[in-house]
Amino acid sequence: MSGRAITDVEGTLDVVSPATGELITTVPAASEQDVVLAAERAHKVFDSGAWAGRSPRERAAVLLRLADLMERDAELLARLDCEDAGKPITECRTGDVPAAIESIRWFAEAADKVFGRVAPTGHDSLGLVSREPVGVAAAILPWNYPLAMAAWKVGPALAAGNSLLLKPAEATPRSTLHLAGLAAEAGLPDGVLTVLPGHGTVTGTALARNPLVRALSFTGSTATGRRVLADAAETNFKRVSLEMGGKSPQLLMADALEYGDELIADMIEAAFLTMGQNCTAGSRVLVHHRIAEEVLDRFAAAAKGLVIGDPADPRTQMGPLIDRAAFDRVVAAVEAARSAGAHIHTGGLPHGLPARGAYYPPTVISRAPAGSDVLT
């Protein structure tokens, strides 16, 4: 099924533009049985050696061709993520897509450079440590970096010789589907990479519980990560790698402003890149009291200068949030902080926002009470 989605499904997913709220397209939604069939195909092709049995350099050659094809289709890939996720097109063109291509090339070159070793033993024995693919692996992706995150998981899994079942986020499947098509064009054998768009509660759960899946990589929310780990523990104890959200603060000491305007610019990027929808977003800042007022003034001024608008416009720096549900959560969190005595320096609505879509202005808040949702 390399290069195409499962089609014998029980439903579809609507891909909706965060910028307009309009339907972009529908894609098949994989059922639990679809996951079973895909895992069986992936396991069969792994056992056949059609991919795992190739030399590392042969696998690298296919991945390098894939990277070349991604470069050929870079503009299309950027536009798919821009439309599906509402990411500013400039961010996609200059950040996400080049990073995804670089990642595939890096893992291609690592294919014959990460290897086993000879263990120290006595003269009458030989100890070898051999690195081998696990077999069928699965990866569950978030919506904030659709193509880049797919590349970070596809690259190492395929370079090592595994078969991979890849589930994109419900909201952002199209760049991943196109990536799978490019992999087939690059010469990846059928069944080695299968994209399974679907609902997390159905498709994601089926991947986490499938006994043929030997390793699973998940990026997303802490709540979903807990469920993935529980599903794996209740079935075959597959290896699970979890990357989940956090809110570790940036610390600004008394001498921080000696670094000039570059510091504020870096802080703005850390806080508002991808509209702040980032597990490493630097959106919580602890500031030394001696510079707190100046930092707030400069930070708020910089936030006010961000260009909000159509993500397809190269001038746009902040597009919409991923959907109206996310918009409603942000509104509720900011209003709760305001009611509890927090100071809103800029943003918090209104901001002359586009009439349609899930747009929320860059917002700077100080003195939010402990436990406030804007801090978590």
243 is catalytic: yes
Q: Which two tokens stand for residue 108?
A: 């291609």
Say which of 279, 293, 294, 335 is annotated catalytic. 279
Statement: residue 351 has pLDDT above 80: no
- 84, containing H or E segment: helix 74-85
How do residues 71-92 score in pLDDT, each as one tens digit? 999 999 999 999 999 999 999 9
Pick from 132, 137, 133, 134: nearest CA to 213: 137
Domain boundaries, the chain: 11-244, 250-375
- What's the pLDDT score for residue 362? 94
Spatial separation of the C-alpha atoms in residues 164 and 154, rounded to whole Å: 7
Q: Is the pLDDT of residue 3 over 70?
A: no
Catalytic residue among 243, 258, 262, 335: 243
Residue pLDDT, tens place only, 285-319: 999 999 999 999 999 999 999 999 999 999 999 99
Split at pLDDT 50, 70, 90, the class of 261 is: confident
Pair 229, 216: CB distance under 8 Å: no
> What SS3 state is found at 251?
strand
Confidence of residue 169 (pLDDT cuts 50, 70, 90): very high
CATH code of the region 11-244: 3.40.605.10
Tokens of 350: 């209104």
Decide if pLDDT at 6 tops 50.
no
Task: Name every residue whose Cβ is closer than 8 Å to that of residue 370 and which is 6 or more positions away in sequence.
Answer: none
CA geometry: angle at 361 spanning 358 and 365, to 5°?
130
331 backbone dihedrals φ, ψ, rounded to 5°: -55, -45
Question: Is pLDDT of 192 > 60?
Answer: yes
Whole-Å CA distances, 223 to 41, 235, 261, 350: 30, 19, 38, 32
245 vs 89, more confident: 89
Please give the single-letter amino acid code of residue 347.
G
The CA distance from 17 to 30, in Å, is 21
Instruction: Decide if 83 is catalytic.
Output: no
What's the rounded mean pLDDT across residues 144-152? 97
The mean pLDDT of the chain is 93
pLDDT bin (cut points 50, 70, 90) of residue 350 is: confident
Confidence band of 10 (pLDDT split at 50, 70, 90) = low
For the cut 50, the answer to whether the pLDDT of residue 200 exceeds it is yes
Secondary-structure class of domain 250-375 per CATH: alpha beta
CA-to-CA distance for 27 and 9, rounded, in angstroms? 10
Q: What share of the chain is helix, strand, coil (3-state, %, to 5)?
A: 45, 15, 40
